Amino acid sequence: MSLESPAHNGNLRPFANIFNMTVSYRRDADVTIPYGELLPKEEETPLPEDITVNKSSLVCWVVSNYMRHHKRTQVYKELSAVVPVQVYGRWTGKPLSSSDLLPTISRCYFYLAFENSLAKDYITEKLWKNSYEAGAVPVVLGPSIQDYKAVAPPHSFIHVNEFASVRELGEYLQELAKDKKRYAEYFKWKQWWKVKLYVDWRERLCNICSQVSGLPQNKLYSDLHTWLGTGY
């Protein structure tokens, strides 16, 4: 059982032919425990007339674990050369308290929901909480566009890989922020859906109880290390 990306799970080769069940954020795990998911609302709720009313920054990013070799660092550097990016977190000496996190992000048009690892299905609270709950359009970098589309609302995020260059991405963000109607389309899903966050391990573990009876009885992971690899 792990919610870490493959890069942070160490060498799992010694565990070949030991485990018969996996519990992970991966959609193909025996028991899937995501960081968040969509739930239908009981009734449709209208959107505010002006989504942008409290927006004062174009792009923001909250990062504490800043590593030069990360793909997200490269993209950030290229993007910040095109558009202004407000950066918070321990790396910049501007940490945000838990009570300040979402209000700060809510004042941004776009949030850089950049994962620290590019791995299959690895979509964390950066999307579910920091972006969707705060009310900023997520610019995502992590697994493939298809992985995001499988779990996220339609037309609710912008994937870095959709653009030929980071400069093109930056120009798109500038144009979108100026068009209130087009920008608001990224929030239409909120009329019918709400985000469910999983933060309590007890709640996650209860998923095992509800699913274990339907799992194969004689399954065995002969190569757990490869299974938990990037998947690409």
What's the confidence (pLDDT) of residue 177?
98
pTM of the model: 0.93
Options 4, 37, 125, 185, the catalytic residue:
4
Give the pLDDT mean for 56-70: 92
Give the pLDDT mean for 212-231: 83
In the predicted structure, residue 47 carries a pLDDT above the cut 60: yes
In the predicted structure, residue 231 carries a pLDDT above the cut 50: no
Ramachandran angles phi, psi of 15, nearest 5° = -100, 20
Number of neighbouring beta carbons within 10 Å of residue 209: 9
Quote the CA–CA distance of 124 and 78 in Å, as a whole number.
23
Quote the CA–CA distance of 187 and 156 in Å, as a whole number.
6
Quote the CA–CA distance of 47 and 84 in Å, as a whole number.
28
Q: Which fold has domain 57-196?
A: Rossmann fold (3.40.50)
What residue ranges do the domains of the chain occupy?
Answer: 11-33+201-227, 57-196
Across the chain, mean pLDDT equals: 93
Residues of the chain with pLDDT > 70: what percent? 99
CB 197 within 8 A of CB 36: yes
What's the confidence (pLDDT) of residue 230?
53
What's the confidence (pLDDT) of residue 187?
98
What's the confidence (pLDDT) of residue 228?
86
What's the confidence (pLDDT) of residue 232?
40
pLDDT in tens, 125-167: 999 999 999 999 999 999 999 999 999 999 999 999 999 999 9
What's the confidence (pLDDT) of residue 115?
95
162 is catalytic: no
What's the confidence (pLDDT) of residue 210?
85
